[in-house]
A and B are shown apart, each in its own frame.
Chain A
Amino acid sequence: MHLTGSLQRPVNFPGSSVEMSQGRVRIEGTELTVVDLPGLGSLQPISPDEKVTIAHLRGDDGARPDVICAVIDASKLSVELQFVSELTSLGLPMIVALNKNDVARAEGRCVDPAALEAEIGIRVIETDGRSPRGTQLLGQCLVRDEPACPKGLPRDLIEEIADRLQAQSEPRRTLTTRLDDVLLQRWLGLPILALVIFGMFQLVYSGADPFVGWVEMAQGWLSGLVEGGVGPGALRSFLIGGLINGVFSVFVFLPQIMLLIALIAILEGTGYMARAAFLLDRTLSRFGLSGRSFVPLASSFACAIPGILASRIIDNERDRIATIVVAPLMSCSARLPVYVVLIGAFFPLAWSGLILFGLYALGIVVAAAVAWCLRRTALKGGQSTLLMELPTYQRPSLRVVFSQVWIATREFLILAGTIILATSVVIWLLSYYPRPEAIHAKFEEQRRSLAATVLDPTQRNRQLDKIAAAEAAAFSEQSWLAHIGKAIQPAFAPAGFDWRTTIGVIAAFPAREAIIPTYGILYSLGDIDAGAYDLASLDKPVEEVAGLRSVLREARRMDGRPALNPLIALALMVFFALCSQCVSTLGAIRRETRSWRWPAFTFGYMTVLAWVGAVAVYQIGSLMGYGLGS
């Protein structure tokens, strides 16, 4: 990362890099191609990512490297030198980058690079993965010194060399060992892990909540501006409903996504994620997965795609496929906007963290159950054991955290500006047209009769607003979108969804977040029941509603019952927690399993589970008296 200046994803646990990536850098006029390979422990590959590295080092892919730069961990010198010794057998020029010497120093086992160089006969440069220190010298050595092919490094001498270089002082009891005594303690480890994850969700929700209010206010202000400048009609409706409510409503969630990604990057950077894998190994093995599955599954909380690719660190093919198939059940950041809107609209703030935690936990529990079933049926076979190196705890690099947040932000903005914009525009078009003259004429007639009978301007304006809302609702109820929604709605009726929510669910299949602008558009076009429109009710003031959350609380169906209530919101969130609504994820599964069978299976089982989950929540809740009633 520091050598080429490109953004990579360095985290503090093994298995984070599963594929080759390359960057180009010009040093003193010479252009170098730097290839980053997945880490190895020996030249005997076990998992798919290790096979990629060995194939490249041996030149099986047609491009043998000119120089190997072996990045070794100074705090595990003897183990790392064993591997360097193996690498010398490849007969390639080599240079050693001595990393994590600060950790070795803290343990009282600092390595002198010059002494190490003299002992092993290979050029050694001290580097620091968290900063550019040593990178310039490393680059200069690569172009100036022309590293030589090392002579063999006898394996029986390695322990002796490591002892000579590191035995100057007694190993100290480090912060890592002291922390691990508590964090990996038999009875404390798992409760602490649960607390950390719960705290993370509470922080994601409450930390970004004020920002949501500000963005909603800004959205209201912009809509007001358009209302002031453009008269009623298609253009005003498109600008407010299609553009402002559509795209703007998803921007509200940017702070939550940024906070979630930052917290995950911090946990990865500290080395705690590797402990979480260790802590959960026994639990995961009960469900037919290995502790190694935790790394891809944890990555999937940010986005399922890198999670699915990270499954390459799992050597057992059946474990790997089971992990890939359940990874999309981990609630990714795309689900967050849906949760935030619905929790904010229907549940008290004090419950928000708990409900969010529950939805994430639901994904984990269902993933475990699906993995358990798969490993006893379609993927029956032996299990792998966890052999994982626990990294030293370290301060996460701010550069890495910022880069992760920036990547997520850029991705989100691109998604909002492309797929979500297009979905919003199409949804607006289908929900605004057709515009039958008969409906317009009926409401024009009512406007004329009102002008003749009500003389007080304040009262007249208030009543005109109500007529306009009822007219918009009448148009909306006979729109193309309403016809589509009402045709599909019976399938979702057992979950309590009305036609608008059904359309939201369908619009969310290419990208989950699309349900938010869909709601924004559908409810901005009228949330008052046109059928129950009645001149007698015109004396009551129009509800002053601002922001999507308030609109969702106030929305009514044609029969006057609420469009959504806490139970339907919960059923909808369960649907989103379990449903496979991301085309890119299915593409990644196809790529990793080299078959259409697994993405088709994933889409099928998740959609069925989501429907069953939502129906179960609504039906059980209704039996307990929380439903809409009839």
Chain B
Amino acid sequence: MTGSWSFTWQDPVALALVALALLAAWWLRRRLGRGSKCEECPAKKDHV
């Protein structure tokens, strides 16, 4: 596409934050998604 990229010290910090945010979202989904996602809504009730 083009030759060299313009990078500053902010780029690695931003990329690290991107990875951190994705990890946090994945962890939150695992952690909260199980107990919630409508435990009251019949889809995820404590089935007998």
In the assembled complex, the Cα of A588 lies from the Cα of B24 at a distance in Å of: 26
A19, closest chain B residue (CB): B42
Indicate which residue in A22, A422, A441 contacts B26 across the interface (CB closer than 8 Å). A422
Residue A428 is within 8 A (CB to CB) of chain B in the complex: yes
Residue A23 is within 8 A (CB to CB) of chain B in the complex: yes
Interface residues in A2-59 (C-beta closer than 8 Å to B): 7-9, 18-23, 35, 56
B39, closest chain A residue (CB): A7
**How near does chain B come to A101, taking the closest CB pair, in angstroms?**
27
B44, closest chain A residue (CB): A305
Q: Is the CB of B21 within 8 A of A425?
A: yes
**How near does chain B come to A526, taking the closest CB pair, in angstroms?**
16
Q: Is the CB of A309 within 8 A of B42?
A: yes
Q: Is the CB of A425 within 8 A of B18?
A: yes
Residue A234 is within 8 A (CB to CB) of chain B in the complex: yes
Knowing A22-B46, A56-B48, A422-B21, the reply to whether A478 touches B33 (Cβ < 8 A) is no
Interface residues in B28-48 (C-beta closer than 8 Å to A): 28-29, 32-33, 36-43, 45-48
Q: Is the CB of B48 within 8 A of A438?
A: no
In the complex, the number of residue pairs spanning A and B with C-beta atoms less than 8 Å apart equals: 135
Q: Is the CB of A18 within 8 A of B42?
A: yes
User: Which residues of chain A come closer than 8 Å to B11, judged between CB atoms?
Assistant: 233-235, 435
A434, closest chain B residue (CB): B5
Q: Is the CB of B8 within 8 A of A305?
A: no
In the assembled complex, the Cα of A7 lies from the Cα of B42 at a distance in Å of: 12
A302, closest chain B residue (CB): B41
Q: Is the CB of B10 within 8 A of A422?
A: no
**How near does chain A come to B35, taking the closest CB pair, in angstroms?**
10
Residue A484 is within 8 A (CB to CB) of chain B in the complex: no
User: Which residues of chain B come closer than 8 Å to A591, judged between CB atoms?
Assistant: 43
User: Which residues of chain B come closer than 8 Å to A432, judged between CB atoms?
Assistant: 14
Indicate which residue in B6, B7, B40 contacts A8 across the interface (CB closer than 8 Å). B40
Indicate which residue in A63, A238, A407 contacts B14 across the interface (CB closer than 8 Å). A238
Which of A109-117, A205-213, A215-223, A410-418 contacts the other chain?
A410-418
User: Which residues of chain A come closer than 8 Å to B36, judged between CB atoms?
Assistant: 410-411, 414
Q: Is the CB of A407 within 8 A of B1?
A: no
A52, closest chain B residue (CB): B48
User: Which residues of chain B come closer than 8 Å to A63, judged between CB atoms?
Assistant: 48
Residue A321 is within 8 A (CB to CB) of chain B in the complex: no
A422, closest chain B residue (CB): B25
9 A-B pairs in the complex with CB atoms less than 8 angstroms apart: A8-B40, A21-B46, A22-B48, A233-B14, A242-B21, A306-B42, A435-B11, A437-B4, A440-B6
Q: Which residues of B are in contact with A by a Cβ distance under 8 Å? A: 1-11, 13-15, 17-18, 21-22, 24-26, 28-29, 32-33, 36-43, 45-48
Q: Which residues of A are in contact with B by a Cβ distance under 8 Å? A: 7-9, 18-23, 35, 56, 61, 63, 230-231, 233-239, 242-243, 303, 305-306, 309-310, 403, 407, 410-411, 414, 417-419, 421-422, 425-426, 428-429, 432-441, 478, 584, 588, 591
Contacts beyond the supplied A305-B38, A426-B22: 11 A-B pairs with Cβ under 8 Å? A19-B47, A63-B48, A233-B9, A235-B10, A238-B17, A411-B36, A425-B22, A433-B5, A434-B2, A435-B5, A440-B6
